[in-house]
Amino acid sequence: MTHYVPVPLERVQLGKPLPVDIWSPDGRLLLRRAQILRSEQHREMLASHHACMTEIDAKAWQKSLERLMRSLYNEGADMSLLTQLPLPSEIAEDDFLPGHEVNGGWMDVQDVLRGLLYQGVSAVSPLPRLEALEDRAMALLKKNPDEGLFILFQALPDLSLGYCATHSLLSGLVSVLTADKLGLTPGARATLMRAALVMNIGMARLQDNLARQKAAPNPTQQQDIDDHAALGVTILKSLHIQDATLLDMVQWHHTPDLFSGEGTAWTLLHVLYLADTLIAKMSPREVRRAMLPLVATKSLVMQSSEKTANLRQAMAAALGFYPPGSYVQLTNGETAVVIARGQKANSPHVATIINASGMPVSLYSYRDTSTPGMAVQAPVAAHSVQVKVIADKVMRLRQLHGV
């Protein structure tokens, strides 16, 4: 049985072809697809017949409208004005496919992203899936960025989860937090997240394999590494992604100095490059240990040039020296996991997981490292911590102490 829903006639454009058939509630065809709403009188006539459309057409039309609104919003348009935007006169073919909403937490997003990156050119309905991933990641980030950093930094050493997707999400999260420090627009932040999600689509499986490989890349693998940015652009174009800024960011995310653009495009590319490089240094491989976050972040700042100093400082301030999910030793002898960033880069909120005697504790204790006697004495490498951190305990502790 066909289900009909009312057509919002007040938002249908005059003089433009209709992308759907218009029906009466009892199933009589009033206006065929591609015909034109000619005048206000024509609109009133359809209203008098209670103009409807099929539920399938309605959902597809809504998706096309949301895509248009997303594009305009990313360009800086006022969202309050976008709510009155006329319905588009065309519906993209992908919008008739089933939805690809992403629910759940960060690791659910990571799992869906890994599948999309692996599929590459073979991905079905990639744009709605990518938009859903971006929307969910941005929603989770807005809700609680420290939780995202904690979960993803905890996942980073587990190479069985798929390093490429975890790396991409962390790079996106750090990029957006840096953009916040820099005061960039919501559209710029959204572009950074999307670029981070797809920047390595040209070598997703290879990136995961290399992370688990016990030897340096062979010549064939090295060539694939060198070619992955250009291949990524080719894949994205085949998936009908046409955003020139996004494509440039993927093309030059390893070689930003070769990019000839200026202004916001230059800034976005360099923020992505710095986040990508920083997370790579903090990530373990079978062939090497991860760099301590403190060392990696100090290196980020120390390598500043006149053009990039403000970007590097903003990223260091956004992430801190001890990001959530990493480990520290306190001056009281306890070993703790960082659960939230603090007011200063060197004073995070932490949870004790090993007491001063070196024994694991079942009941985590909250510590504010900005207080005397609880300061961070040194970072601790993740591979040296032989205790499994229980995320639920951490979340309860964070809620209890409001961090």
Tens of pLDDT along 141-173? 999 999 999 999 999 998 888 899 999 999 999
pLDDT of residue 150: 97
pLDDT in tens, 320-370: 999 999 999 999 999 999 999 999 999 999 999 999 999 999 999 999 999
pLDDT(266) > 70: yes
Share of the chain above pLDDT 70, in %: 96
Token match 């040194």: residue? 378
Strand order in the sheet with 376-380: 360-368, 349-354, 335-340, 327-330, 376-380
Average pLDDT over every residue of 76-105: 75
Q: For the segment 3-49, what is each residue's pLDDT rounded down to a tens digit?
A: 888 999 998 999 999 999 999 998 889 999 999 989 999 999 999 99
Banded pLDDT at 373 (limits 50, 70, 90): confident
Q: Within 10 Å of residue 207's Cβ, how many Cβ atoms?
A: 21
Task: Give the pLDDT of residue 91.
Answer: 86
Q: How far apart, in whole angstroms, are the C-alpha atoms of residue 179 and residue 318?
A: 9
Helix residue ranges per DSSP H, 239-366: 244-251, 263-282, 293-302, 309-319
Find the mean pLDDT for residues 62-84. Answer: 73
Q: What is the model's pLDDT at position 172?
A: 98
User: What is the rounded distance in angstroms from the CA atom of residue 150 to the CA atom of residue 392?
Assistant: 12
In sequence order, the β-bridge partners of residue 53 are: 5
Mean pLDDT of the chain: 91
Examine the pLDDT at 2 and tell me if it is beyond 90: no
- Where does the pLDDT of residue 80 fall: very low under 50, low under 70, confident under 90, or very high at 90 and above? low
pTM over cut 0.75: yes
pLDDT score, position 160: 84
Element (H, E) at 353: strand 349-354
Tally: H helices and E strands in the chain: 15, 9
pLDDT of res. 270: 97
DSSP 8-state assignment for residue 275 = H
Q: Whose structure tokens read 């020139």? A: 244
Q: Is the predicted pLDDT of residue 227 greater than 70, yes or no?
A: yes
The span from the CA of 95 to the CA of 212, in Å, is 38
**Whole-Å CA distances, 239 to 96, 125, 231, 350:** 16, 8, 12, 43
Task: State yes or no: pLDDT of 273 exceeds 70.
Answer: yes
